[in-house]
């Protein structure tokens, strides 16, 4: 099946720094990518939807200036957590929608720990 990768798989950073997470579709073109956040023992919360070449659409309650999303190509989207704080510690998962299919493929996730 289709493969979506995320990098890094885990990151530890100091409070106040910015962290960039990459999401790549490896064997298909993804016009739409999604970013989710998963809290411990909870479901996934959609943060934003990004379309290649346009601004991301953020869900209610998600700060767009804090979680910067860039979808620069059909195979790459990035999420930057700016001025990270301990409450931003979470598991971030991206997904990519194959333009030819109706299925989203999920990345393996990135675990962020802000000290």
Partner 1 sequence: GDSVTQMEGPVTLSEEAFLTINCTYTATGYPSLFWYVQYPGEGLQLLLKATKADDKGSNKGFEATYRKETTSFHLEKGSVQVSDSAVYFCALSDLSGYQKVTFGTGTKLQVIP
Site residues (vs partner 1, CB under 8 A): 1, 6, 32, 34, 42-44, 46, 49, 51, 57, 93, 95, 97, 102-109
Query: 46 or 62: whose CB is closer to partner 1?
Result: 46
**C-beta of 43: minimal distance to partner 1 in Å?**
5
Query: Could you tell me the smallest distance in angstroms from the CB atom of residue 46 to partner 1?
Result: 6
Radius of gyration of the chain (CA): 13
Other residues' Cβ atoms within 10 Å of the Cβ of residue 103: 11
d(CA 34, CA 51): 9
Nearer to partner 1, 7 or 82 (CB): 7
Strands 110-114 and 10-13: parallel
């Amino acid at each position: 099946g289709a493969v979506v990768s995320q990098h890094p798989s885990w990151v530890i950073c100091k409070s106040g720094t910015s962290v960039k997470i990459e999401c790549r579709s490896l064997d298909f073109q993804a016009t739409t990518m999604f970013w989710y956040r998963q809290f411990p023992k909870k479901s996934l919360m959609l943060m934003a939807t990004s379309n290649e070449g346009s601004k991301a659409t953020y869900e209610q309650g998600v700060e767009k200036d804090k979680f910067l999303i860039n979808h620069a190509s059909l195979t790459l989207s990035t999420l930057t957590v700016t001025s990270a704080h301990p409450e931003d510690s979470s598991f971030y998962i991206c997904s990519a929608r194959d333009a030819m299919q109706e299925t989203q493929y999920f990345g393996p996730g990135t675990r962020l720990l802000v000290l």
